[in-house]
Chains A and B, each alone.
Chain A
């Protein structure tokens, strides 16, 4: 593993993710053994998110250690599961568009696309160090987090497009839209369930 890190091949992937998405598609097609290692990025994302939130407020020691142990483990699992769901939905959407999907590589792209999101931590550390009043850096950090998310989505869409040799619109429709629709559906189901639960309790009372 240390050898694999020393070869700096991972740096090529990240460089291509940020600056050359077309080459990333080629690298992904060539480097199948490296693909499972991309799960490290959602895991790092989970760690950086916890550190970001803890940097933004005065933390209680015991709460911080709970966050860093159970919290980190749960969040990392959740983010990984989310990437798996995203990749599956994108593959399903691509197959509906009569494009043969490459689910493992889509999953790898989505994992790699977590990389820009990591920058929210240095931004937050910088903001907190220049402005110790917590609400102002909080707002700016939230804004930068949103921007980084958009950048991350953009890289993922471009890379999926090059990988499957499809247009950007098709790639967008397959990568983002299914997730958006599923999210909306889940929201309505959750709201509906909550309303039914409220109604049931009100009848019971």
Chain B
């Protein structure tokens, strides 16, 4: 067996040598690889933070369990953390939203203006859609980027409710309503709206609309008269919005990051801090997204809320 043992020892030595060679080869290529990758150590250098504002803006966000659509509460909380984080020198808000409820939109707007007051530049980067409440939020930022094809504008307020009186009459359905005041069942679907009610709602809409104009004027540092003519609910492409001074520049997401670094006087290579999303939630969120598409899911019939929202 001695000869066989020698042969096997040589084979094992050959395997060991190949393992060493492989480690050397990996070490050589490792040195050539930049350090960015799937696993990296946390960065602590001053940099730019990214905040995503996706989907309809509501206070608590969409009900989907793993959706990345967050409510205004979560966004304000996140902005709060960034505001108090010493390494965050600028913020980029990536917007892809048709707008949403009034209070939720205004809360995000106020938070952004607070951050700006602390001399932290906030740059808005509009994606496909930044209309109505989406634009409201963007108008609070220090600088706005839009793509040529971004749908924006839709400055206005809307409230809607279905009128099902005809349907109720057809099927002999009636509602028993006991109310404490004449306007308590305003927007009831079971009857036609009265002129008084219409007037009352119009006054609410007008007041909210005025606030919208005031905030856009404040955020953009633009007199209301300069854009009132276009603030009739119409939408604009990114290029048109630039013409009407509703955005500052046509540019991409990476342009907005560059601008944020420039405004914060940061180095070009300074880090970009994205919102941490666990891979598990990312995976489940993507499944959820696919399933909702398969089911032909549509936005739920909204309750009668006053909204800054662009309705497609």
Residues of A within 8 A of B (CB): 8, 11-12, 14-15, 19, 47-48, 51-52, 54-55, 58-64, 66, 118-119, 121-122, 124-125, 128-129, 198, 201-202, 204-205
Asked whether B39 lies within 8 Å of A60 as measured between CB atoms, the reply is yes
Of the A-B pairs whose beta carbons lie under 8 Å apart in the complex, a sample of 23, sorted by A's number, is: A8-B9, A14-B12, A15-B7, A48-B15, A55-B25, A60-B35, A60-B39, A61-B31, A62-B41, A63-B37, A119-B15, A121-B19, A124-B22, A128-B25, A198-B291, A201-B287, A201-B288, A201-B291, A202-B295, A204-B65, A205-B64, A205-B295, A205-B297
Which chain B residues (4-51) contact chain A, with CB distance < 8 Å? Answer: 4-5, 7-9, 11-12, 14-15, 18-19, 21-23, 25-26, 29-33, 35-41
User: Inside 8 A of B9's CB, which chain A residues have their CB?
Assistant: 8, 11
SS class of chain A's interface: helix, strand, loop or mixed?
Answer: helix
User: Inside 8 A of A59's CB, which chain B residues have their CB?
Assistant: 26, 29-30, 33
User: Which 10 pairs show the lowest CB-CB distances between chains A and B?
Assistant: A60-B37, A122-B18, A11-B8, A11-B5, A15-B4, A8-B5, A51-B22, A202-B291, A61-B30, A63-B39
User: Inside 8 A of A12's CB, which chain B residues have their CB?
Assistant: 1, 4-5, 8
Asked whether B19 lies within 8 Å of A47 as measured between CB atoms, the reply is yes
Closest to A204 in B: B65
A119 to B291, CA, bound (A): 44
A205 smallest CB distance to B (angstroms) = 5
Interface size class of B (residues with CB under 8 A): 35 or more
A63 smallest CB distance to B (angstroms) = 5
B56 smallest CB distance to A (angstroms) = 16
A54 to B292, CA, bound (A): 38
A63 to B35, CA, bound (A): 9
Contact among A11, A14, A47, A60 for B30, CB-based, below 8 A: A60
Instruction: State whether the Cβ of B294 lies closer than 8 Å to any Cβ in chain A.
Output: yes
Asked whether A121 lies within 8 Å of B22 as measured between CB atoms, the reply is yes
A66 to B291, CA, bound (A): 34
B267 smallest CB distance to A (angstroms) = 22
A198 to B286, CA, bound (A): 12
Asked whether B22 lies within 8 Å of A125 as measured between CB atoms, the reply is yes
Contact among A8, A15, A61 for B33, CB-based, below 8 A: A61
A58 to B25, CA, bound (A): 10
Asked whether A60 lies within 8 Å of B33 as measured between CB atoms, the reply is yes
User: Inside 8 A of B18's CB, which chain A residues have their CB?
Assistant: 121-122, 125
SS class of chain B's interface: helix, strand, loop or mixed?
Answer: helix
User: Inside 8 A of B19's CB, which chain A residues have their CB?
Assistant: 47-48, 51, 121
Asked whether B22 lies within 8 Å of A52 as measured between CB atoms, the reply is yes
Closest to A67 in B: B39
Closest to B293 in A: A205
A75 smallest CB distance to B (angstroms) = 15
User: Inside 8 A of B38's CB, which chain A residues have their CB?
Assistant: 60, 63
Closest to B9 in A: A11
Asked whether A55 lies within 8 Å of B8 as measured between CB atoms, the reply is no
Asked whether B26 lies within 8 Å of A205 as measured between CB atoms, the reply is no
User: Inside 8 A of B30's CB, which chain A residues have their CB?
Assistant: 59-61, 64
A63 to B294, CA, bound (A): 36
Closest to A60 in B: B37
User: Inside 8 A of B41's CB, which chain A residues have their CB?
Assistant: 62
Asked whether A125 lies within 8 Å of B25 as measured between CB atoms, the reply is yes
User: Inside 8 A of B33's CB, which chain A residues have their CB?
Assistant: 58-61
A119 to B4, CA, bound (A): 18
Query: Given A11-B8, A61-B33, A63-B39, does the pair A51, B23 have CB atoms closer than 8 Å?
Result: yes
- What 0/1 pattern do residues 150 to 168 of B give for CB contact below 8 A with A? 0000000000000000000
Asked whether B287 lies within 8 Å of A198 as measured between CB atoms, the reply is yes
Closest to A205 in B: B292
B11 smallest CB distance to A (angstroms) = 8
User: Inside 8 A of A198's CB, which chain B residues have their CB?
Assistant: 287, 291
Closest to B1 in A: A12
Closest to A52 in B: B22
Q: Which of A8, A11, A63 has the most CB of B within 10 A?
A: A11
A22 to B64, CA, bound (A): 63
User: Inside 8 A of A121's CB, which chain B residues have their CB?
Assistant: 15, 18-19, 22
User: Inside 8 A of A128's CB, which chain B residues have their CB?
Assistant: 25
A47 to B19, CA, bound (A): 9
A18 smallest CB distance to B (angstroms) = 8
Query: Given A11-B9, A51-B23, A128-B25, does the pair A66, B292 have CB atoms closer than 8 Å?
Result: no
Closest to B289 in A: A205
Asked whether A62 lies within 8 Å of B35 as measured between CB atoms, the reply is yes
User: Inside 8 A of B295's CB, which chain A residues have their CB?
Assistant: 202, 205
Asked whether A62 lies within 8 Å of B40 as measured between CB atoms, the reply is yes
B127 smallest CB distance to A (angstroms) = 24
A38 to B288, CA, bound (A): 46
